[in-house]
Amino acid sequence: MKENPQDNVYSMSLEEKLGHMLMVGFRGYELENGVFPETVLSGGIPAGYILFDKDVARGTDTRNIESPDQLRRLTDAIRKRTDAPVFIATDQEGGRVSRLSPQRGFSPIPSHQELGSLPVEETYHQSRKTASLLKSMGIDMNFAPCVDLGIAKNSAVIYGLGRCFSEEPLVVLRHAKAWLQGHKEEQVHAVLKHFPGHGSASGDTHKGIVDASSTWSEAELEPYKALIRGREADMVMISHLYIRQLDPLYPASLSEKIIGTLLREHLGFEGLVISDDLQMSAITDEFGISESIRRAITAGNDLLVFGNNLCYDPEIVSRFIHTVTGMIEKGEITEERIDASVVRILKAKKGFL
């Protein structure tokens, strides 16, 4: 009989539950005597880690990924660090968005834009190749595919980096479906992004607030609708875009109307909801750490990402746990709300989604 993740949640401490809701970044190519190079684990153990090739805050090419042998040693060490199952994630879309790059000794992968002009069979082949590489490196979650429509040709962060299969929803759907299938067969989690669609926005949420209200259209939801309806999407990442016709007050990642009502209720998504990096300027310029955490959880995010790359906070884990514990004590968030996310996370880690 399969283990019931819901039973596991009831036996966890609150700190353990909150750890499961965290995905964090850290600095270093290796662990030193089983300990992370900096105190990113102080106050608790997150159950997810995101790896980068470059350190944006420092402006260097030194972060977590140096070579295949080094990366495998690092992921092995991370998994030995805790008895709890962990997600280890990266962004390996292909083309210019490849953390495992040819410059570091990894095989090149075509960009989404390149694949979009080829038969979907090639996307499936490249997806399996990508997922096989990630799996061999100990990485089990890929923040790809992008299902953004290639509408804003002046977007430096989406279209300009070749991250769109096409501007046509049906073409994007076909290639995204092939990508999801390839990853699923290699047992690597693929994450659709950036809900509810970043392709018509010209701005970059890494750098500040982006309002896509005047450009966004419901056509950008079409790939999500079809993939969710076909039960092919297990995980979705939420963007930080403001789309006022969907929520006049909050960006998508902090919006209960966009996550709870649109994604969960209207589209019927039952899988894992993952925030985009909550340290992006689109969030930090507008909200404090406490407010962004509270709104991200109440909006419906299951896994909260703090990449610790655009800025670095070695105390982010303890800060998160202290903040949410205080909110539960004040009645601002219920522990039942936390339990619901942790059950979904455990299901995903055990392959039940």
Nearest to 92 by CA among 67, 113, 112: 112
The rounded distance, in Å, linking the Cα atoms of 183 and 171 is: 19
Using DSSP, state whether 97 is helix, strand or coil.
strand
Active site residue 140: no
At a CB cut-off of 8 Å and minimum separation 6, what does 153 contact? 159
* Secondary structure E strands in the chain: 22-24, 48-50, 87-90, 92-94, 97-98, 141-142, 189-190, 192-195, 235-238, 272-275, 304-306
∠ Cα 288 290 296 (to 5°)? 95
Q: What are phi and psi of 235, to 5 degrees?
A: -140, 140
Dihedral (Cα; 243, 244, 249, 255), 10-degree rounding: -40
First to last CA, the chain: 17
Active site residue 194: no
Total Cβ atoms within 10 A of residue 206? 18
Total Cβ atoms within 10 A of residue 79? 16
Q: Which member of 55, 140, 234, 276 is catalytic? A: 276
Nearest to 235 by CA among 293, 190, 168: 190
Q: Which member of 206, 234, 247, 277 is catalytic? A: 206
The residues assigned a catalytic role are 206, 276
